[in-house]
Amino acid sequence: MARVAVLGSNSFAGTAFIDAALSETHEVLGISRSPEPPPIFLPYRENSRASAYRFQQLDLNRDFDAVCAALADFAPAFVVDFAGQGMVAESWTRPEQWYQTNIVSKVRLHEFLRRHRTLEKYVRVSTPEVYGSTPHLIREHQPYAPSTPYAVSHAAIDMSLAAFHRNYGFPVVLTRFANFFGPGQQLYRIVPRTIIYALVGRRLSLDGAGTSVRAFIHSRDVAAALLRALVAGRPGETYHFSSNEFHSIRSVVEQICAQLAVQFSSFVDVGPERQGKDHAYLMDASKAQAEIDWRPRIAFAEGIRQTIKWVRANLDEIRRLPLEYVHKP
């Protein structure tokens, strides 16, 4: 049992990780700038150890001193960091917001944490978008080539963390994941959005005809990967977590349509490609398999079935929620 602080705890992967960490008997502090979402997005609410979780609504930009005070009071052995401005396309509109949150405020946080004597490991949840489009399978030493302000902000803070490790011995473990999916994901993401639109009779716009290629990883496999990174990840190292199944976005939509018996051609409209969108992220996860004994367990088709089941079970509530991304500066 250990104390684990989760930054960005209301994120999709964050809630899945909290549920898994509680099941491993850890005591967990969650910090997020937004209030907790409805219970349908919080798997840990059903955990038998839910009382070992506490949540504080704090913003890393606006409440920096309070975030530091909460971390100092909790004295975590481990910090798992999901926090940051997300969304690729939107980062072009106000890039300074992405740089402020994902770089400036994070550097301030790391400067605080490096003096925190109880910290054993800081696990950073990064993104393959730091590499830019990758037409072939890549390893962890691939040079950065970010294509958007979002990706630039992640590459910058990853480089800063690497410098902190070299200079101070800061115990960072960098992790990069394929696209998350599964029950409880944000409704505007491609898998739940496709399912919801198909079930409510709304047409789906497919950016750039859906030709971009991604691997997908189930939220429970993400949580398992991060638990392995806490236990076995070596500070200063980077690990890729991905399946070996690669799908075009069009193929993802087609597979969902097949499971729902919806005709693709009558459901989908082709829209323009997003600015700066990378065509493919193809990561080699063999290092994580060899060094920390992780591999994905949930196949893509099974994860789609689970997500369809979750949407059907909660459709009445989902209909009352925003289905589009709402930006918070």
CATH number of residue 223's parent domain: 3.40.50.720
Task: Indicate whether 258 belongs to any domain.
Answer: no
- Taking each helix axis as running N to C, give the angle between helix 106-113 and helix 64-74, from 0 to 180 degrees, rounded to the nearest 10: 30
**What is the chain's mean pLDDT, rounded?**
95
| Domain membership flag for residue 269 | no
Residue 111 has pLDDT above 90, yes or no: yes
Give percent above pLDDT 90 in the chain.
89
Please check whether residue 261 lies inside any domain of the structure.
Answer: no
Give the Cα separation of 16 and 225 in Å (integer). 11
Q: What is the pLDDT of residues 47-99, one digit of tens each?
A: 999 999 999 999 999 999 999 999 999 999 999 999 999 888 899 999 999 99
Spatial separation of the C-alpha atoms in residues 150 and 84, rounded to whole Å: 10
Please report whether residue 188 resides in a domain.
Answer: no
Contacts of 329 (CB under 8 A, 6+ apart): 94, 97
What is the tens place of the pLDDT at every residue in 149-197? 999 999 999 999 999 999 999 999 999 999 999 999 999 999 999 999 9
pLDDT at 278: 79
Q: Please report whether residue 46 resides in a domain.
A: yes
pLDDT at position 276 is: 64
Burial (CB < 10 A; 0-12, 13-18, 19+), residue 112, is middle
Q: Is residue 106 part of a domain?
A: yes
Euclidean distance between CA atoms 276 and 254, whole angstroms: 24
Q: How many structural domains are present in the chain?
A: 1
Q: Which of 86, 80, 82, 81 is nearest to 98 (CA)?
A: 86
pLDDT score of 1 more than 90: no
Q: What is the pLDDT of residues 211-240, one digit of tens each?
A: 999 999 999 999 999 999 999 999 999 999
Alpha helix positions (H), 7-148: 12-23, 64-74, 95-99, 106-113
- Is position 251 within any domain? no
- Report yes or no on 171 lying in a domain: yes
Q: Average pLDDT of 281-294?
A: 96
End-to-end CA distance of the chain: 36
DSSP state of 44: G
Calpha distance 257→251 (Å, rounded): 10
Which residues constitute the domain of residue 52? 3-180+217-241
CA distance 5 to 27: 9
**Is the predicted pLDDT of residue 275 greater than 70, yes or no?**
no
Helix%, strand%, coil% for the chain, nearest 5 = 45, 20, 35
